[in-house]
Chain A
Amino acid sequence: MRIASHDSAKPRRHRSSEDMILFAVGRQMFLVAAESVQEIRSTDGLASAALEIELPDFPKVTHFFERRHHNWFIVNACAHFRLPVSRPTLVLILRQARAALLVDHIVRMAEVPAVHPLPHAYSGDERRWYRGLAYLEDQVIPVLDPVGVLTRDEFLRLDAHCATVLAERECEGAAQS
């Protein structure tokens, strides 16, 4: 059998490209559509507004904050993607879901010519995590699906927990005044 030569062909380019944010979690790179990110804050900048969530069996969500009368949940990307622990410095506040992602750093903006579908071979949680894959400067990088950061059931559970936390704080406040 002949061995095929090294292949220099790149995934086909599509006409419409998309602006994306290339970010790092540990040594792993991810992309997210720029229009899916509402705001980028430093962890320090958000610390004063965030309240802690203590759900031992749900370690990926550590804090929440209130925005426009809704709870927004801060998801540690390391825990979400089951990567080794890193040192997040930034929070990407997402647009399509009430979630914010704790990431290590932004690498740069990138113009992504196409998002390729995730191969069917991938059948696990990653089908929810990723919109697809992008081929950028000789690297295949997963493209985050903001809607897949937390499931509907997870939102329900977190909302219920936060309602309890806020009610307790209200009671504590009333008792002190």
Chain B
Amino acid sequence: MTAPASNAVGSFVLLQVGNRRFALSSERVAELAPPVRLHSFPHNSPLVIGVIVRRGRIVPVYDVAPILIGRASGTHRFYLIASRFFGRVAEASAIPLHGECELATGEIVPPEPNSPPYISGSLAVGDQRVPVLDFEALVTFRPASATPSAAPGKSS
């Protein structure tokens, strides 16, 4: 997904991370899954916290809460499973969510000039403006202060 040059209408999934709402293009979203067991093992990839098994596939889980709300995800209610592309290969990827999701259709307006790169615009929902996430930019976002560090796996 890229930042739109002009306003465009699309279908979005509204999701909750912490107590904040965000929107993600529904084209990216495969399903909403229950909070199944997270399997962790040693690695040092940023944001990745482990994998879940879903429909016979091993799906990596990204904890994007530190970026979006400034703290780790903690207890969550669902996993949103979306597609991430590596070249032409689509990989199912999960992010933990803290509340219900809903579908919304609306006009996306371009982001504010000072918006972080993972915000591709905003969506008018009622009288609210919900930030629209660029999934690829979100899971590859590195804060300027971030330094790579080992993220040893938690006990499975």
> Chain B nearest CB: distance from A140 CB in Å?
4
| Pick from B13, B39, B53, B56: contact of A1, CB under 8 Å | B13
- Could you tell me the distance between the alpha carbons of A163 and B142 in the complex, rounded to whole angstroms? 42
Residues of B within 8 A of A139 (CB): 39, 156
0/1 string, B137-156, CB within 8 A of A gives 1:
00100000000101011011
How many A residues touch B, CB cutoff 8 Å?
37
Give the nearest-CB partner of B54 in chain A.
Answer: A7
Q: Does A56 touch B at the CB level, under 8 Å?
A: no
Residues of A within 8 A of B36 (CB): 6-7
- CB pair B58–A133 under 8 Å, yes or no, is yes
Grouping DSSP codes into helix (H, G, I), strand (E, B) and loop, the A interface class, with mixed when no group exceeds half, is loop
* Chain B interface size range: 35 or more
Q: Does A121 touch B at the CB level, under 8 Å?
A: yes
Give the nearest-CB partner of B149 in chain A.
Answer: A82
Q: Which 3 A-B pairs have the closest CB atoms?
A: A121-B60, A140-B39, A27-B155
Binding site for B on A (CB under 8 A): 1-7, 9-12, 26-30, 81-84, 116, 119-126, 129, 133, 135, 138-142
Binding site for A on B (CB under 8 A): 13, 31-34, 36-37, 39, 41-45, 48, 51, 53-60, 62, 78, 84, 86, 89, 91, 93, 101-103, 139, 148, 150, 152-153, 155-156
